[in-house]
Amino acid sequence: LMMLGDKVSATEAERIGMIYKVIADENFAEDSFAIAHTLSQMPTKGLAYTKLALNISLDNSFADQLHKEDELQYKAAHTADYREGVNAFLEKRAPSFKGE
């Protein structure tokens, strides 16, 4: 793809994992809000750390990236949301994340 510039349909992009999901035009707003709602129920600090790790991976060596991801894992494991996730799992209930 990168070398030859081949065009890829949305369906093919979804199949090969290039995009998350194909959404029909008529369902775009509804499906987009559903995805946003799902994300809003997740541990937002953990999501932010994941996004940061992905963004900095473009400039880091492999060793530097592993070190940074180790740091981010440590930070994530010391959040209130992490504790809530573990407790919810142990108590067999849905977690209630607060972004803390």
Length of the chain: 100
Domain harbouring 91, CATH code: 1.10.12.10
Same domain, yes or no: 92 and 53? yes
Domain of residue 64: give its range.
Answer: 43-100
Same domain, yes or no: 18 and 60? no
Same domain, yes or no: 97 and 48? yes
The tokens for 36 are 């946003």
Angle subtended at Cα 43 by Cα 39 and Cα 44, rounded to the nearest 5 degrees: 70
Write out the chain's pLDDT in tens, 100 residues. 788 888 999 999 999 999 999 999 999 999 999 999 999 999 999 999 999 999 999 999 999 999 999 999 999 999 999 999 999 999 999 999 999 9
Q: Return the amino acid letter for 20.
A: Y
Same domain, yes or no: 53 and 26? no
Same domain, yes or no: 49 and 73? yes
Same domain, yes or no: 57 and 72? yes
DSSP 36: H
Number of structural domains in the chain: 2
